[in-house]
Amino acid sequence: MSAPLLELRDLHVRFAARRGGWFEPRRELHAVRGVDLRLERGGALGLVGESGCGKSTVARAVVGLQRPSSGGVFIEGLERASARGARARELRRRVSIVFQDPYSSLDPRLPVSASVLEPLAIDGRLRPRARRMRVLATFEAVGLDAALYHRYPHELSGGQRQRVAIARALVLEPALLVCDEPTSALDLSVRAQIVNLLDELRARFGLALLFISHDLAVVRRLADEIAVMYLGRVVERAPAQQLFDAPRHPYSKALLSAVLAPRPGAHEERIVLAGEPPSPLAPPTGCAFHPRCFARERVAQDRCERESPELSARGAQRVCACHLTDAP
């Protein structure tokens, strides 16, 4: 059996945090805490959660912009952090990223075609004429008119700039495109166009997507499977439809209740989460969600404050980390 396109194995990322004062002990921000995920070729995995939950740090680790503190990121069975030379270059070709703000990801001093051409020039496998042909073909694939070839980023609309950023990410023909909030800086109508484009590109090129967003409506449109993150951990993972139809973790229920229209006849109340997510510098004991959890009184005694629930499987494809759902 071949290795999955992307596999995260017990991924941890820690950062040294600034001290509050000279004489205070050094602190550590544990941004990603033991994440395990798999994504097959051509699949689409959505990673959701409030800001600060660690989803962008996961994205940066997948594309090699952040080194794991422990655990690993494996692309087609090869560990990203230990790859060197030709293997490291091949891994860089296989995985690309699109960021939230296209303006900051393009060089304002260069025509947009030069920004798209740059990865090909660094890669060095194609001759100059073939590179230009590839750039034009990529412009066409992302719906950009060739007349924009020599324009500068400030001359383009927000949607056109994001198409250029997608073209730059696709020009080396990656197998996996990591999208880190690629629509959050765009107007609603442009957002729908970019989502449709990503869906088309996935179908046309067999591209796999790791789609990171706090916008659940967008994730629902694109993802086959969804992982919900809270304070650095995955707390639920399920096929997208199953998660939207019947979320199991109280945090997933709260996230979804904020965006879904109530179903006719179903007496569903909107769940409003109390307070802000806790600081990753001082995570709560036991289940990190317990200070905000509306369901914890259904768990015996003070188990939620004492014991961190494991991510346990209930059924073939779903996993959930909650003491309520691991009860027999």
Give the x-and-dash track for 279-308 against ligand SF4 (CB under 6 A): --------x-xx--x-xx--x----x----
Q: Which of 7, 236 has the CB closer to ligand SF4?
A: 236
Give the H or E element holding residue 59. helix 55-62
The answer to whether 156 touches 164, Cβ cutoff 8 Å, is yes
The answer to whether 61 touches 68, Cβ cutoff 8 Å, is yes
Within 243-282, the residues that bind ligand SF4 by CB under 6 A are 250
Tokens 């230009």 belong to residue = 132
| C-alpha span between 153 and 106 (Å, rounded) | 7
Q: How would you classify the pairing of strands 233-239 and 70-75?
A: unpaired
Q: Provide, rounded to whole angstroms, the least separation between the CB of residue 295 and ligand SF4.
A: 5
Q: Provide, rounded to whole angstroms, the least separation between the CB of residue 232 and ligand SF4.
A: 15
Q: Which of 296, 318 has the CB closer to ligand SF4?
A: 296
Q: Which of 48, 170 has the CB closer to ligand SF4?
A: 48
**Three-state DSSP class for residue 88:** helix
- Of positions 58, 167, 309, 311, contacts ligand SF4 by CB under 6 A: 309
Q: Does 148 sit near ligand SF4 (CB under 6 A)?
A: no
Q: Which of 269, 297 has the CB closer to ligand SF4?
A: 297
Choose one: 23-31, 183-191, 214-222, 318-326; the region binding ligand SF4 (CB under 6 A): 318-326
DSSP state of 75: E
Within 177-206, the residues that bind ligand SF4 by CB under 6 A are none
> Taking Cα atoms as reference points, which of 144, 7, 138 lies closest to residue 68?
7
Q: Does 237 sit near ligand SF4 (CB under 6 A)?
A: no
Neighbours of 175 (CB within 10 A): 18
| C-alpha span between 55 and 65 (Å, rounded) | 14
**Positions in the binding site for ligand SF4 (CB under 6 A):** 250, 287, 289-290, 293, 295-296, 299, 304, 309, 322-324
